[in-house]
Amino acid sequence: MTTLPGTSVPTRLDLTLDGGALTAQLVDFPSVSGEEEALADAVEQALRELPHLTVQRYGNNVVARTELGRGERVLLAGHLDTVPIADNLPSRVEGDLLWGCGTSDMKSGVAVQLRLAATLPDPNRDLTFVFYDCEEIEAARNGLGRLAAEHPDWLAADFAVLMEPSGAMVEGGCQGTMRIRIRLTGVRAHAARAWLGDNAIHHAAEVLGRLAAYQPRTVLIDGLEYREGLNAVDIRGGVAGNVIPDECQVTVNFRYAPDRGPADAEAHLREVFAGFDLEVTDSAPGALPGLDRPAAKAFVAATGGRARAKYGWTDVARFSALGVPAVNYGPGDPNLAHKRDEHCSLSAIAECEERLHAWLTGPTA
Ligand SMILES: [Zn+2]
């Protein structure tokens, strides 16, 4: 392996390595969020050596595509950055496990993307490979978000697979999330003469009662079960130990199935909390799994036919906002992401690559 003089840091990537060894090479290229340039350079250089791909770059984001005029285009995406290193570099192998920062989240997924880019000159569907920066930090810097804003045409596809760690299960779409603040008011008074006041904290009882009585929906979309949830996540109020408080605020978080959009979600919350003063403080739409699309159906079949709904919000929603249905599927273990003892199974990496390879070379009908 070519390395920087005096260090074990590699300077180039070797796409002829197997997926596990390539993951190790990627892991040994430190790329904490904001410091992805050297790795983005190496990814770009390796892809430019492949004559069947057109390569574009924007910042530390690299996009490579085939242009074969196929009936469908699928997009495989992965982020290049990791959380801060925690004394867990360089990588090391122990039996079937590769240890090190980014092994699960998500350089094993990136390695599979690169292996597919190198080994599929003639895929059954046109392919777009997206490698982006700054996923692990504030949303404004997210490379996929910046690509979506500046070069949405680079992300055009019929179906997208985000290769985040999913334990090799297909996780479809994602829930939407909305936070609202409900403001309750009263009249301040001395606690010794409470009848002169009106206790705002007591008014929260009605809000909490509606939450306790609320029956969240479970929604089936493309065969996946999305469970909604409506919960108080913060409550604050009180002036002093001898004062009837005149204000109380309850913050409620609504996690909703992707058959609703943000406007629907807000209308629903205004109905549930009719009569109360409420304000939306945070909102992110969900994403439909799109498993009714032909490319997606074939994908689920090729990956073992098992799919579940994604709970939580991920970058798949950025694809959904562009009209591209998306799923999470990657060899890493989501429970090991961001941990000091992060590791990944080498056989899971090989299996993920094999399944995707079969999907992209098998019959498309
Ligand atoms: Zn990740």
Instruction: Indicate the average pLDDT of the chain.
Output: 93
- CB contact at 8 A, 135 and 33: yes
Taking a 5 Å cut-off on Cβ, the residues next to ion ligand 1 are 105-106, 164
pLDDT at site 4 = 60
- Asked whether the predicted pLDDT for residue 352 surpasses 90, the reply is yes
Provide, rounded to the nearest whole percent, the portion of the chain with pLDDT above 70: 97
Residue 105 alpha carbon to ligand 1 centre in Å: 5
Q: Which two tokens stand for residue 350?
A: 């090989």
116-160 pLDDT, tens digit per residue, is: 999 999 999 999 999 999 998 888 899 999 999 999 999 999 999
Rounded to 10 degrees, the C-alpha dihedral 349/355/359/363 comes to 150
- Rounded Cα–Cα distance for residues 120 and 112 (Å): 12
Query: To 5 degrees, how large is the angle CA 130–CA 321–CA 72?
Result: 55
Residue 55 alpha carbon to ligand 1 centre in Å: 23
Q: Catalytic residue numbers?
A: 81, 135
Residue 235 alpha carbon to ligand 1 centre in Å: 31
Residue 300 alpha carbon to ligand 1 centre in Å: 21
* Nearest residue to 128 (alpha-carbon basis) of 72, 74, 68: 74
259-279 pLDDT, tens digit per residue, is: 999 999 999 999 999 999 999
The count of other CB atoms within 10 Å of the CB of residue 48 is: 14
Residue 135 alpha carbon to ligand 1 centre in Å: 7
| Strand pairing report for 159-162 and 92-94 | unpaired
